[in-house]
Amino acid sequence: MNEDVLSAGTIAGGLGTRLIGQQVLYYPSVASTMDIAREEALRRATEGTVVIAGEQTGGRGRLQRAWLTPKGNIALSVVLYPSLSAVPSLIMLASLAVVGSIRNVTGLDPRIKWPNDVLLNGRKTCGILVEGDVRSDTVNHAIIGIGVNVNLRPDDFPEIQATATSLSHEAGRPVSPLAVVKSLLAEMDRLYLDLNRGASLYEEWRDRLVTLGQKVRVTARNLTFDGIAESVGKDGSLTVRRTDGSAVTVVAGDVTLHG
């Protein structure tokens, strides 16, 4: 077994987590790990099951966007059965876990752009997608999907070149996807156990946000407006003070920073 190659064995070996990554399903190439994780959740796979791919051919992002995962990067989805009250914290958990793993492995210091893009030097190095089957009073399952640009060369992808970066691009050296995955799963495990014990991830997430106090353009539900990002709520929502003085709170949407 090549020690530095992504596989179910290298990921799960010596991981030391209690829940996340106790079962790892590795696929060399898939359309999207989200679809496989959903099938696993529907057949009630063990909580914390990780579906990870060497590459994705039909990766998807928020707001119906495509997500590129060529080889050498990370695309994974984690199956969870959280309580209803934990659901709003899952995007905080995922972004904080990614921040922790990037710091652990590279020493770089990422920031979070609301709600859950992880940035290095103002460019996106990770995207997070949370999908689930959540009813008014029950959660059947939630899937956290995480894509990290580890060794992606932005110059090779003109469609994202202006806004994307990667760990190797910022660190100036190749970075081991295996090291990042192991650290990421350990961080997720720790934060998920904290959450289940009633801890709040809100303050740590809020303090990592690059968005607050900035001029922003918000696109939410076909509505676009400008303002200053004023605050975030414990439910993950963002409140923006518009130029006419009114405040608007959005729970889902896209934000562009205008410095």
Instruction: Count Cβ neighbours within 10 Å for each residue of 215-228 and write b for 16 or more, e otherwise.
Output: ebebebeeeebebb
Q: In angstroms, rounded to a whole number, what is the distance separating the alpha carbons of residues 20 and 49?
A: 6
β 117-120/223-232 pair status? unpaired
Does 164 bind ligand BTN (CB under 6 A)? Our answer is: no
Sheet holding 254-257, edge to edge: 247-250, 238-242, 223-232, 215-220, 254-257
Number of chain positions touching ligand BTN (CB under 6 A): 21
Both tokens of 231, joined, read: 């605050």
Does 75 bind ligand BTN (CB under 6 A)? Our answer is: yes
To ligand BTN, the closest distance from the beta carbon of 67 in angstroms equals 4
To ligand BTN, the closest distance from the beta carbon of 27 in angstroms equals 11
Both tokens of 81, joined, read: 């059965």
Does 147 bind ligand BTN (CB under 6 A)? Our answer is: yes
To ligand BTN, the closest distance from the beta carbon of 199 in angstroms equals 25
Q: What are phi and psi of 48, to 5 degrees?
A: 95, 0
**Residue of the chain from 67, 114, 192, 205 that contacts ligand BTN (CB under 6 A):** 67
| Closer residue to ligand BTN (CB): 128 or 152 | 128
Does 205 bind ligand BTN (CB under 6 A)? Our answer is: no
| Closer residue to ligand BTN (CB): 62 or 169 | 62
The half-sphere exposure of 74 on its side-chain side, counting CA atoms within 13 A, is 32
To ligand BTN, the closest distance from the beta carbon of 17 in angstroms equals 19
Does 236 bind ligand BTN (CB under 6 A)? Our answer is: no
Does 149 bind ligand BTN (CB under 6 A)? Our answer is: no
To ligand BTN, the closest distance from the beta carbon of 259 in angstroms equals 21
DSSP string, 17-45: -SSTTSSEEEEEEES-HHHHHHHHHHTTP
**Residue of the chain from 11, 20, 25, 34 that contacts ligand BTN (CB under 6 A):** 34
